[in-house]
Amino acid sequence: MLALVLSAILAAPLQEPVREPAPEPVQESITVRRVLVDVRVISHGGDVSDLTPDEFEVTIGGKKMEIESVELVGSGYVPPPPVEVTDEENAAAPEDEWIEPMGRTIVVFIQTDFTRNSARLEGHMKFMQYTEDLLASLEPDDRVAVFSFDSHLKFRLDFSSDVEEIRAAMEGAIRIDAPSMPPAASGLSLASQLDLRKLRAASRSEKALQVIGEALRPIPGGKTMIFIGWGLGHKTATGTRMTWEWPAAVRALTEARVSLNVLDTTMADFHDLEIGLQAAAEQTGGFYAKTHTHPMVAISELQAALSGYIELSLRTSETLKPGMRPLEVRVKRRGVRVLAPESVLISR
């Protein structure tokens, strides 16, 4: 019997062993993102327009970033060379492709004290005497919007390059009134992003800044906010603290690429809420200055901040998690000061 089984096995045809298909090589894919960061470099002597990528050192979330380019964005608008377009091509072009030539995008935010505190009111009115010096630094292609805040946010002027309109809106901010919504500007406008309901719901300055930041988000490029006021945050037993609305406000301002340049108009050498103003300026890449002692020095600093900014183009990879991440910017050149936001948004 055993001999028959062995002979049957030997007589059976040989079969090739079953081989598993070779696994495909694993290819790692790294998505590279491009992040734009706006910084202002203040020099105490010398030109900084010749800064190169090698002179910057940028980290996001503690990781060193590769700097692709450094572009100085000045105050003036340089139009592109003219292009010959036929009437048929012009008629066929969709309206939403039109981009209005513009200079700087500036928002003026004026805090008016609803309680009419004497130190705040007097300082505000004193500084308004220097409005002309501020307006004189505007370029013809600049667009300026004006907001005020007392008991809630008030929208006084949509983007305009008319100096008389800007002056009237800033002077009107001293009043406790109920202005109607301003006419929508042609071209660059905030009117479609705002309504009276949204303005009235912003009953704290921090919430008001969030609303403005969210309205500015669709507008490309860096923006400057001139904050003229008396304070942010609130006093506690352990010191001045930002309100719970501030994190959402700073996120909205960061996403919209807005730097907050603060002119503290309070008639006091020191006051508790200036700590909140200083923190807001530092976190958004702006500066803080008092106006009650040396107003022209504050105006000069503001004019320097308005003169332009440097746009850094950074390369990041998907290893950097999306969300708000800490940002640090340094310049390897002596005698310069860098104003940069403390955080940057990494998109998915």
Looking at residue 251, which CATH number applies to its domain? 3.40.50.410
Separation between Cα atoms, residue 120 and residue 128, nearest integer Å:
12
Q: What is the pLDDT of residue 3?
A: 52
Residues 186, 226 within the same domain: yes
Write down the pLDDT at residue 16: 52
Same domain, 291 and 320: no
250 confidence band (pLDDT: 50, 70, 90) = very high
Categorize the per-residue pLDDT at 307 as very low, low, confident or very high, splitting at 50, 70 and 90: confident
pLDDT for 301? 83
Question: Across the strands, what pairs with 325?
Answer: 344
Predicted confidence at residue 1, as pLDDT, reads 52
Instruction: For the chain, give the longest Cα–Cα distance.
Output: 120
pLDDT at 76 over 90: no
Q: Which domain holds residue 180?
A: 105-306
User: Which range has the worst mean pLDDT, 141-145, 183-187, 268-272, 319-323?
Assistant: 319-323
Q: pLDDT confidence of 294, banded at 50, 70, 90?
A: confident
Predicted TM-score (pTM) of this structure: 0.81
Candidates 85, 63, 123, 145; CA nearest to 266 is 123
In a domain, 328, yes or no: yes
From CA 131, how far away is CA 141, in angstroms rounded? 19
pLDDT for residue 277: 95
**Mean pLDDT for the stretch of residues 136-144:** 90
Residue 129 and residue 236 share a domain? yes
Asked if 348 and 282 sit in the same domain, the reply is no
Does a structural domain hold residue 10?
Answer: no
Is residue 6 assigned to a domain? no
Pair 135, 277 in one domain? yes
> Is residue 287 domain-shared with residue 143, that is, in the same domain?
yes
Given its phi and psi angles, is residue 119 left (phi above 0), alpha (psi -120 to 50 degrees) or beta?
A: alpha
Residue 29 has pLDDT above 70, yes or no: no
Claim to verify: residue 205 and residue 238 sit in the same structural domain: yes
pLDDT band, residue 15 (cuts 50/70/90)? low
Sheet holding 323-331, edge to edge: 63-64, 56-60, 323-331, 343-346
Q: How far apart are CA 208 and CA 89, in angstroms?
A: 43
Per-residue pLDDT at 78 exceeds 50: no
Q: pLDDT of 86-98, one tens digit each?
A: 444 444 444 444 3
Residue 327 belongs to a domain: yes
Stretch 316-335: mean pLDDT, rounded? 86
**Structural domain count of the chain:** 2
Beta strand 153-160 with 336-339 is unpaired
Per-residue confidence (pLDDT) for residue 33, from 0 to 100:
75
Asked if residues 173 and 146 have their Cβ atoms less than 8 Å apart, the reply is: yes
Same domain, 284 and 323: no
Among residues 155, 246, 257, the alpha carbon closest in space to that of 205 is found at: 246
pLDDT of residue 6: 43
Res 50: pLDDT? 84
Q: Which residue has the higher pLDDT, 308 or 158?
A: 158
Q: Are residues 213 and 280 in the same domain?
A: yes
Q: From the CB of residue 36, how many other CB atoms can be counted at a distance below 10 Å?
A: 15
Q: What is the mean pLDDT of residues 180-195?
A: 93
pLDDT tens readout for residues 39-49 = 998 876 667 77
* Per-residue confidence (pLDDT) for residue 98, from 0 to 100: 39
Average pLDDT along the chain: 83
Question: Does position 162 have pLDDT exceeding 90, yes or no?
Answer: yes
| Distance from the first to the final alpha carbon of the chain | 73
pLDDT of 321 above 60: yes
Residue that finishes a domain, picked among 290, 306, 322: 306
Which pLDDT does position 187 carry in this prediction? Answer: 87
Instruction: Spell out the SS3 assignment of the chain.
Output: CHHHHHHHHHHCCCCCCCCCCCCCCCCCCCCEEEEEEEEEEEECCCCCCCCCHHHEEEEECCEECEEEEEEEEECCCCCCCCCCCCHHHHHHCCHHHCCCCCCCEEEEEEECCCCCCHHHHHHHHHHHHHHHHHHHCCCCCCEEEEEEECCCEEEEEEEECCHHHHHHHHHHCCCCCCCCCCCCCCCCCCHHHCCHHHHHHCCCHHHHHHHHHHHHCCCCCCEEEEEEECCCCEEECCEEECCCCHHHHHHHHHHCCEEEEEEECCCCCCCCCHHHHHHHHHHHCCCEEECCCCHHHHHHHHHHHHCEEEEEEEEEECCCCCEEEEEEEEECCCCEEEECCCEEEECC
Same domain? For 335 and 188 the reply is no
Q: 328: which 2 tokens?
A: 């640090």
> Is the pLDDT score of 156 beyond 80?
yes
